Amino acid sequence: MTDLAVIMGATGGLGSAIVDAFASRGDRVIAVARSRAEVSQLASKYPGGVTGDTADLTSRLAVDDLWERIDRVGSPRWLVNATGGYRAGKVVDTTPDDFTFMMDLNLGTAWWSCRAAARRMQSVPTTSGGGCIVNVSSRTAWVAEPGAAAYAVAKAGVIKLTEVLAAELKASGVRVNVIVPAIIDTAVNRQALPEKLMQKAVAPAEIAAVIAYLCSDAALAITGAAIPVYGKY
């Protein structure tokens, strides 16, 4: 029987590459995003292999409702939290609304999805290793960049969330790791960043391959790890 993977933030440049990595190796995939049209279009590329669903992943109640729908499909072995977004701003210029938005989008989405998944994964017996959760942080969490204040703090929180949850779930056999990319070669970044920086960018498929490896029996010894995927940066 194939494993079931849940990919949050599935329609972004990185998220769609993650969906492709899991679907291409034969996993059943539930692809989750906010836009019904976008997630339906993505799922249509993988007839029978990918199911689309929608939710406001910043909302605990919406995430809880989503996981009740997932329960009716099956018990996921893999969860990838790839939801996120960037809004520039120095500490002194960040408004309360900007701060809340960055926390909800980059940390809250991972927090609520991890919370819901952990409650289920630690109680589900498996025949070949336990489940795995992979979160996505950013190099900015480690290397301070002026003007990325709230974003950097939120992404640093994702790393600490990963470390704490890995410690809490270790006895159950559920692994939790986090990918730390620098610049990702997405359409959004190509529009927003100078060409000189984009020459250092990592292709989404390369990052997705690392995530897929972590969500495999080949990586059963890896948990609580924060793995940089910087490319040439």
Tell me what pLDDT residue 189 has.
82
Q: How is residue 148 annotated by DSSP?
A: B
Q: List alpha helices for 10-128, DSSP H.
A: 13-24, 36-43, 60-73, 96-102, 109-121
Binning pLDDT at 50, 70 and 90, where does residue 2 land?
confident
Higher pLDDT, 84 or 130: 84
- As a residue count, the chain comes to 233
Q: Taking Cα atoms as reference points, which of 215, 210, 216 lies closest to residue 231? A: 210
HSE-CB of 9 using CA atoms within 13 angstroms: 25
Compute the distance between CA of residue 108 and CA of residue 18 in angstroms, rounded to an integer. 20
Q: For the chain, state the CA radius of gyration.
A: 17
Tell me what the mean pLDDT of segment 158-177 comes to.
96
Tell me how far CA of residue 139 lies from CA of 40, 134, 144, 146, in angstroms.
Answer: 31, 16, 9, 13
The domain spans of the chain are 4-228
Tell me what pLDDT residue 1 has.
62
Tell me how far CA of residue 45 lies from CA of 24, 27, 151, in angstroms.
Answer: 11, 14, 32
Say if residue 128's pLDDT is above 80. no
Can you name the CATH fold of 4-228?
Answer: Rossmann fold (3.40.50)
Provide the residue type at 1 as one letter: M
Q: What is the pLDDT of residues 203-227, one digit of tens each?
A: 999 999 999 999 999 999 999 999 9
Q: What is the model's pTM? A: 0.94
